[in-house]
Structures are given as C-alpha cells and as structure tokens.
Structure 1
Amino acid sequence: MPSNTVENTGGTRPLRVVQWATGTIGSRALRAVIEHPGLSLVGVYVHGADKAGVDAGDFCGLGTTGVTATREIDEIVDLDADCILYMPSGCNMDEVGRLLSAGSNVVTTTGQFHHPASMDPDVRRTVEDACRLGGTSIHSTGSSPGFISEAIPLALTSIQRRLDSLTIDEYADLSRRPSPELLFDLMGFGQPPGEFAAYRVAYLQASFGPSLMHLADALGLPVDALESTGEAGTASRTVEIAAGTLPAGTIAAQRISVTGMRAGQPLVRFRASWYCTTELEQEWDLHETGWHISVAGDAPLEVDLRMPIPLDRMAEISPAYTANRAVNAVAAVCAAPPGIRTTADLPQFIAALG
C-alpha cells in the first residue's frame, strides 16, 4: 500500500496537495484534504476573480488555514506540489500538460484518462511526454464513472472464471434537486418527448464508454464496439418538483444505455435511469437512488448499493462520493510510475482515516 507520506532527509512528510477549482466537488475535496492526516494543503487554484485571495477554509466551511486562492498558474507551479486535485468543469490539456511536466502528479474527476488506448493519439502522446518530462502520473476517477464502473466490477469479477455479461444500473431520483438549469435546460426534463435528444446519448457514451472499455481490457475481454441508446418516460400528470413544474406528457424520466459489445453480444453495460417522478405513462422499474450490478458468469451475483440519504439532503452529501475517491487516490498516484495510470494499473485505494 502506498504511503500518504514521502521520504525526505528529515524522515517523512505529508504529501503536498493543491486543490484546483472549488465548485461543488472541488470544495468537498478541499475540505477532505485539509482534514486528511497524511496530506498537506499548499495551494488552491480558482477561476473567478472574486475568489482570488480568499482563504481555503472559507470555501468549505472550515476555519482559517493560511492558504489563499490564486488565479495564477505560475504560482501553482512554483509550489512544487506532489499532487494536483484537478476538478474544473472541463479539462484543459495545456494546463494538465504544464502541471505534469513541472513535476506534480494529477488526480482528476474529468474523464479524459480512463482508457488511454481510445484517446486521440496526439493528445495521448502530449500527455505522456509531459509525464516523462516531469516524472509524474495522471489518473481519472470519481464515483460514476470510476468507483462504480471500474473498482466495484473488478472486485466482483475477481471471483469469476467465466464472464457472460456485467450490467451496472444507476438510479437517481432528481425530484428534490433545486436546479432548473440542470434539469430543464441541460437534461431536457419538462420538454415534449419527440425523439429523445441524441446529444444526451452521445454525452453518456463519451462519459462511460472509455471506462467500460478499460474494464473489458483489464479482464482480457476487449470489446469490439460501443452501442448506445436512449429513451424517455413521460409524466402521467402534472407534478411539482424542487426545480419547477413538470407538465403532464413531458419528459419526466430518461434511461440511457452504453454497452460494450464483444462478438456481437453485450459484455459490459452502464445504464442510467434518472427520473423526477415515478408517475409515468410508461411502466418503468425505478429504484431508489443508488446502483444495482448484475454479474452473469460461473459465479453469478446481484448486488445493490443504495445511498441512505433523504432526498432533500442529497445535493449536500452526494458530492462526497466523487470527491472522496479522488482524495483517497492521491497516495497511489504519487507512488505510480510516470504515465497515464488506469484503475487496473494502480493498487486498491485504502482510505487513511486515522
């Protein structure tokens, strides 16, 4: 197990960490770093001018830390951090390359690095060159994809000697999510069904396809192709949700599947069922927020993972599922050989909780 400290002439010291971005996930990761027994926060990068100069503790409800936020990447590079927790809304490859080449490892919740073989060859080459130059590694992780599409399936298949198929069902009740821009504008809830938006299906394939391909490769069963489909469920009556009104007959649920095919048969599948009400015109089997994993093989399994959180507290607590895994990955990524490191490349992440 990699240590959460590094050797120096005086013995050992905590790993020096920078938190990059302080949104919903970033601020939760920031709090975890500050409270972590084996990590030392040395810097915070922010995008907004109003956040520059603010103490790190103010972003996550803690007291004064003495570490203030900056918008200057030069200041971050000069910190010579062991690891950057890189959590912006989108991945800037120029930023990533500079951090890696300067000698800081990167753990990111952006999903570009789950499956190096399917990356754009030029981008992959540039990132790997930066890793060689800096002697660093980079790893993408989170709750979904990451934990549920890689770590858990790899554990469940460790008792198989034949795998016929593996399906991950993700369920999310969004009825108490007070985010009209997210639900209505981005996800398409409350809109006439028509033909289900192709961009939603493409988004899920881009998010989960590389993770499923990595899983299949790790098992020695590489997939031949990815297939993705989407369907909408419509409200049987007008309902009020935290984000606003869902008129009867409009999209109130969506189900999107991304499937890795092998020899013409489905091998690994991620299926997202996200809904704002269970009162649908269609008959859908909807579960509480969480995951169900079905493993068909010579040691078949059916596994449920539920989030025992009241819906009105879900937005408050759920970021921990993504942020904590990234924080717990820091030690393993810092100890890894240079390069783009996948879940299969790294040891199991063991949380240092003492």
Structure 2
Amino acid sequence: MDRLRVIQWTTGKVGKLSTRGILDDPRLELVGVYAHSDDKAGTDAGTLCGRPETGVQATTDIDALIALGADTVIYTPFMADVEHAVRLLESGLDVISTNLFLNVGGIQGDTKQRLADACRRGDSSLYVTGVNPGWINTITAAMTMTAVCRGVEMVSVAESANVSVYESAETWRALGFGLPHATPEVIEMAQMWLSTFHDSVQRMAVALHHTLDDMEFFIEYATAAETVDLGWLRLNKDTIAAVRAGWNGKANGNTVVQSNVAWYLTKHLNEHLEFDDDHYHVVIKGEPEVQTRIRFIPPETWGNHEWDTMTAMPAVNAAVDVAAAPPGILTLHDVGLASAPAGIWLNERA
C-alpha cells in the first residue's frame, strides 16, 4: 500500500517520541521535520530523536515543508501557533495535534472558525488527540464500553499517578507544590493548567451526545509529612506535595461526565487523599455498571520522559484513520478508535 507522507512539527519531549513512532510505522514515511529553534535546523531527524540518520533534515522553512506535498503533519509543539496551523490546513495537509491550543483559548470561538475555514479551503482535517488523558477518554467516550449499556447516568475517568517521574519543577510549582498552602492565585493557576481535563470532559460529552450546561472545577491539596528531596525539586515538610482535582460536566443539573486526577510527589502526607495503584479507573454508572482499571508497566529501559510515549503514539497511530475521515475539525465519531499496526509490525519483523 502507499505510505502516508508525514511531517513532524517540532522535536521536543513529545515530538522526539512521535518522530520515532513515524519511523517505526511501515504505513508512514517521514519526509520533513519542522524545527522550532534555529539551532536544530539542518540536523538529521534521526539525530534529533535518538535514532540512526534518516536523510531527513529539520528546517525552519515552512514554505519548503509545505512544498514537499506531504499528506499529514503530526503537530506537537508546547505552544500552539494558529497562523502555522492555518497555513498547513489551507495547503491541504491534515494536522493531528497533541496540542490543545489552550494558549490561544482552545479550539473555540474565532480560533475554531479560522481553523474550520482553513480545513474547508484546503479540503483537509484537524484532529486533536491531546495529552493524557486524551487516550483514555477516547476509549471511554467512543462507546466501546458504553455500548453494552441500556442506560448511562455518568462516565468518570480517574487518573492516579506518582508524578515524580515527570521532572518539571516549573509545572509542579505552578500547581502550588512546595507552598505552605494554596492561595486563590495558585488555585486559579492550577485551574488553568488543568484545563486539559476540561477539554477531555467536553470531548467525552460530545461523543456521548450530551449538551453540557455547566463545567464545575474542584481541587484539594495535601501537604508533605516530611521533607522530600527529589534531586530536581525539594519540598519542605508541611508544604503541598499532592493534589486531587478535576472537572464535573453537568447536564440538567446532574454530573454526567467527570475527569479527575490524583497526583503526588510523595505518599507521606499530613492529610488523607485517595490514590490508586492503577493509573486509570473508569466507571460507567448505568445498566449495567461498567468498571475497568488500567495500569501501565514501562520497560526497564525507559527514562522518565519516555512516559510521553503515551501522548505521542495516539497521534501517530491515528494518521491513517484521519486520512480516511472527512475534511473539517474531526471528533471521536469521525475518526473512530486508532490502533497500533501490530500485525504489520509482526510481518515486517518476521
């Protein structure tokens, strides 16, 4: 079969791993790489992602990338650029994004209209897979589990994680970690950072045919019972070391979709917060009730940032399905459930 010609857009923590995913997928051909910084321009894609050289060099020249006549862009920058996205879509490139465009207010209002117009002009598609929990809400909301129910009252997705594997002191300080208590300003910042989960609730609601009339944010903190030194971040005793927070999506006054997280840098806490050994606990309250738990077990070779694989691969594995979908801003219903090409890998390696 003809391979999809793919451009990787940036090679940061997630982009490095999605580049590997493109190279590993026999259905895809890496033809271009966009470099966010000048110092990466001219560097081989293999060098940038820890693989042998590919012959594909990163560039900051957007016109040159568009001129390649590729099919798809895997879009993974930390900060979205609407102008870039519009140019790509107008040129006819499908864009699959792990970025939720939150730095420009999300895909809504004027931003959504601009992106939709660009899709129409280019006969192209935009599909947002998102960061975790993007993958888990895709599985839940795409009816794969609700399909067994004759009635559904609520779908909830709970994430529980020891986040000490994510070495980003800036992230945890922004959420209030290390402070003696949460101020209103910290809670406001946390709400902004956790807007990715706001997006996941909305995406699930759309897939479940709900029209939400309210989105309710909730948050609670716990403090460290002893000083914790992670090497890259130090938390003094009695400062914030764990958080539970999330969003309730409401329709007709009832919570119908919920997404929440319980994150901790230590379990030695002064206050009691519930943590799960499993990474996800999905509950569908209905007839019948459905519960499932998911635990990720990484290989011993993984470093801390290899966990970003679970953000990168849903985008890479969706490329073929997005190419077959209609133009426009796509939802879960349009794309369906992406999957890894396991059988193709098996035959290639035989």
* TM-score, length-scaled by structure 1: 0.90
Query: Helix, strand or coil: the match of 1:285?
Result: coil
**1:7 is matched with which residue?**
none
Q: Count the aligned residue pairs.
A: 337
**Cα displacement string for residues 249-268 of structure 1 (whole angstroms, at most 9, x for unaligned residues):** 10000111111011211111
User: Partners in 2 of 1:309 and 1:136 — Cα distance?
Assistant: 36
Q: Cα RMSD (Å) of the superposition?
A: 2.0
Moved more, 167-176 or 334-343: 167-176
Does structure 1 conserve the Cα–Cα contact (< 8 Å) formed by 2:131 and 2:196?
Answer: no
* Structure 1 runs not aligned, ≥5 long: 1-11
Q: How does 1:1-354 map to 2 (within 5 A)?
A: 12-112=1-101, 119-142=107-130, 144-154=132-142, 155-184=144-173, 186-195=174-183, 197-204=187-194, 206-288=195-277, 290-309=279-298, 313=302, 315-353=304-342, 354=344
Q: Runs of 4 or more off by more than 4 Å in structure 1?
A: 310-314
**Cα displacement string for residues 309-332 of structure 1 (whole angstroms, at most 9, x for unaligned residues):** 389946243111111110000011
Work out the percentage of aligned pairs sharing the same amino acid: 34
**2:348 is matched with which residue?**
none
**Cα displacement string for residues 103-137 of structure 1 (whole angstroms, at most 9, x for unaligned residues):** 11100001249xxxx84332222211111111100
Does structure 2 conserve the Cα–Cα contact (< 8 Å) formed by 1:189 and 1:252?
Answer: yes
**Cα displacement string for residues 71-128 of structure 1 (whole angstroms, at most 9, x for unaligned residues):** 1111111111100001101111111010010111100001249xxxx84332222211
User: Partners in 2 of 1:183 and 1:132 — Cα distance?
Assistant: 40
User: Partners in 2 of 1:190 and 1:232 — Cα distance?
Assistant: 11
User: Partners in 2 of 1:211 and 1:179 — Cα distance?
Assistant: 23
Does structure 2 conserve the Cα–Cα contact (< 8 Å) formed by 1:176 and 1:312?
Answer: no
Does structure 2 conserve the Cα–Cα contact (< 8 Å) formed by 1:233 and 1:280?
Answer: yes
Quickly say closer, same or farther: Cα 1:171–1:314, change in 2 above 3 A: farther
Deviation at 1:289, TM superposition (A): 5.9
**1:4 is matched with which residue?**
none
User: Partners in 2 of 1:202 and 1:180 — Cα distance?
Assistant: 17
User: Partners in 2 of 1:312 and 1:168 — Cα distance?
Assistant: 29
Query: Helix, strand or coil: the match of 1:175?
Result: helix
Quickly say closer, same or farther: Cα 1:243–1:311, change in 2 above 3 A: farther
Deviation at 1:193, TM superposition (A): 1.1
* TM-score, length-scaled by structure 2: 0.91
**Cα displacement string for residues 14-71 of structure 1 (whole angstroms, at most 9, x for unaligned residues):** 1000000000110000011112101000000011111000001001111111100001
